[in-house]
Amino acid sequence: EAEKKKQIRVWCDGCYDMVHFGHANSLRQAKALGAYLIVGVHTDEEITKHKGPPVYTEEERYKMVRAIKWVDEVVEGAPYVTTLETLDKYNCDFCVHGDDITMTADGVDTYHLVKEAGRYKEVKRTAGVSTTDLVGRMLLMTRQHFYRGQREYEVGKEGSSTMGQDSAARSPWTGCSQFLPTTQKIIQFSEGKEPKPGDRIVYVAGAFDLFHVGHLDFLEKARAEGDFLIVGLHTDPVVNSYKGKNYPIMNLHERVLSVLACKYVSEVVIGAPYVVSADLMDHFKIDIVCHGNTPIQPDSETGEDAYGIPKKRGCFKFLDSSNQMTTEKIVERIIQHRLEF
Ligand code: CTP
Ligand code: C5P
């Protein structure tokens, strides 16, 4: 049985727009059904034809899927309807998809061919997250622009300026999350590995909200600084205190899973302090601390430089991801999209 599984090549395909941990979880389950996982990602043209334009470009989507740790290979521009020819071309035994029906613009099940041929397997969809849901959370931020004057849309809006000021502060939008985090899910996503003796340990910290291509380029560079990459994720109130407005859009547990799904990441600190302390550095035996090209705010309470200690120790390094993407830009794209319809 184990021998047989070693030979199995699995195929998945989809849009993978604004890749989230629900996508990652389906790829994780798909990989577990075989030994090698190939993921076909559709072009912008194909997606536009069947369900409307994606938020991310195809280049961005290819890159995001390629960085998911269970993915062995990405096929760019895979056809919307999965054919037996495609499975055969890539030598895949079967196709795996979540337990929801995907249709073409003509209302045809995109998996009817592989289903009829008995080369289709289903995995459970992750409840509580989807591209549509995330877009909804972002549009919620903007509703007052569209329906100015209607009270119901202004609930919580004053949050922007006042929210960051006490420890209970949090984004009202992460409260929309229907996802139920469990330790089981974290274990499934985690590498579960400790650094090997002599490993150079890299630490970075941030919000990593709506995990995007800018984060990815940054983490790739950070990982190249050493052998073991630890990512510290700030809590929702901390993120809110320096990002303001309605951030974060994904709550801490969701951000943990998104970051853990990335192949460059070895370990995540769940709720890392904003200021990188000596204790934290000693505890994790951190050799180098990095930060990208985004501005660094002083600590909201003490005004301290978040990287003051690693700087004093001579182990701080700026990394240029050469990528200008930010969570705010994704939100802008969505608003732009929304205005076009
Ligand atoms: N998927 C999942 N759980 C989710 C969302 C997606 O398991 N919460 C799976 C889908 O079932 C599919 C794969 O991710 O097997 C890629 O799907 P894609 O075509 O990108 O997904 P959508 O279902 O359109 O994703 P979303 O609902 O987020 O738009
Ligand atoms: O903004 P956030 O806290 O999510 O950023 C996490 C890390 O990723 C930071 O070090 C930031 O500078 C880096 N980053 C980057 N390039 C981007 C976006 C983020 O280097 N385009």
Which residues in the chain are classed under CATH 3.40.50.620? 2-123, 163-330
Tell me, what amino acid is at 247?
A: Y
Q: Which atom of ligand 1 approaches the CA of 130 most closely?
A: 28
Shortest-distance Cα residue to atom 5 of ligand 2: 206
pLDDT digits (tens, 9 = 90+) for 88-99: 999 999 999 999
User: What spacing in Å lies between the alpha carbon of 336 and ligand 1's midpoint?
Assistant: 23
Topology of the domain comprising 2-123: Rossmann fold (3.40.50)
Which of these ranges, 272-276, 289-293, 298-302, has the smallest mean pLDDT?
298-302
Mean pLDDT of 260-271: 98
Residues 6+ apart with CB under 8 A from 2: none
Q: How far apart are CA 312 and CA 330, in angstroms?
A: 35
pLDDT digits (tens, 9 = 90+) for 127-152: 999 988 888 888 876 554 333 333 33
Q: Is the CB of 323 under 6 A from ligand 2?
A: yes
Distances (CA, A) of 296 to 94, 239, 242, 293, 329: 47, 12, 9, 9, 18
Mean pLDDT of 109-117: 96
Q: For residues 165 and 30, which has the higher predicted lDDT (pLDDT)?
A: 30
Closest CA to 175 of 268, 247, 259, 272: 247
Q: What is the pTM of this model?
A: 0.91
pLDDT digits (tens, 9 = 90+) for 31-79: 999 999 999 999 999 999 998 899 999 999 999 999 999 999 999 999 9
pLDDT digits (tens, 9 = 90+) for 208-256: 999 999 999 999 999 999 999 999 999 999 999 888 878 899 999 999 9
Q: What is the pLDDT of residue 170?
A: 57
Q: Is the CB of 226 under 6 A from ligand 2?
A: no
Mutate to test the pocket of ligand 1, among 15, 23, 80 (most ligand atoms within 8 A of CB): 23
Q: Quick one: which H or E segment has residue 215?
A: helix 213-223
The domain 163-330: what is its CATH number?
3.40.50.620
Q: What is the pLDDT of residue 115?
A: 96
Q: How far apart are CA 333 and CA 222, in angstroms?
A: 27
Q: How many CB atoms lie within 10 A of CB 125?
A: 16
Beta bridge partners of 96: 121
Mutate to test the pocket of ligand 2, among 203, 294, 326, 329 (most ligand atoms within 8 A of CB): 294
Q: What is the pLDDT of residue 221?
A: 98
pLDDT digits (tens, 9 = 90+) for 151-164: 333 333 333 333 33
Distances (CA, A) of 38 to 74, 86, 139, 159: 6, 11, 33, 44
Q: What is the pLDDT of residue 3?
A: 81
Mutate to test the pocket of ligand 1, among 51, 58, 125 (most ligand atoms within 8 A of CB): 125
The DSSP secondary-structure symbol of 304 reads -
